[in-house]
């Protein structure tokens, strides 16, 4: 089973700053099957990025994804107040199972 490790656990930044979130896999992951979600308190997760770099419908272009193999990155170019939330990466792999990273909390500094 592929394990996804996200870092940092918590990221403290100010609105307007750039955020870089990391997701590292224990084995190589097909880029086609790496996604990112945003979750705000009391809400369901929302799909941001799929296929490592494709934005989901309605997602602002300040969100971008990149990476391949075992290292993937979610970048938020200029933080808006509504971007402070928890972010999860997720993959689907050869084990025919989905796995999620443990999450990165993006908080206001």
Partner 1 sequence: QVQLVESGGGLVKPGGSLRLSCAASGFTFSDYYMSWIRQAPGKGLEWVSYISSSSSYTNYADSVKGRFTISRDNAKNSLYLQMNSLRAEDTAVYYCARGLFVGGSLSHFDYWGQGTLVTVSS
Q: Six-digit token pair at 106?
A: 């993006």
Total residues at interface with partner 1 (CB under 8 A): 24
Binders of partner 1 among 1-20, rule CB under 8 A? none
Query: How far from chain centre, in Å, is Cα 101?
Result: 9
Task: Indicate which single residue of 44, 58, 61, 81 sits in contact with partner 1 (rule: CB under 8 A).
Answer: 44
Among 46, 53, 62, 73, binds partner 1 (CB under 8 A): 46
Residue 12 and residue 34: Cα distance in Å, rounded? 25
CA 48 to CA 88: how far, in whole Å?
Answer: 10
Site residues, partner 1 (CB under 8 A) = 32-33, 35, 37, 39, 43-47, 50-51, 56, 88, 90, 92, 96-103
């Amino acid at each position: 089973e592929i394990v996804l490790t996200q870092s940092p656990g918590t990221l403290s930044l100010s609105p307007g700053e750039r955020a870089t979130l990391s997701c590292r896999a224990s084995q190589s992951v097909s880029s086609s099957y790496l996604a990112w979600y945003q979750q705000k308190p009391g809400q369901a997760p929302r799909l941001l990025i799929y296929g490592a770099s494709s934005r989901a419908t309605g997602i602002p272009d300040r969100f971008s994804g990149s990476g391949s193999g075992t290292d993937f990155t979610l970048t938020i170019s200029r933080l808006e107040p509504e971007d402070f939330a928890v972010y999860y990466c997720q993959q689907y792999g050869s084990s025919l199972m989905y796995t999620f990273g443990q999450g990165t909390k993006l908080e206001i500094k």
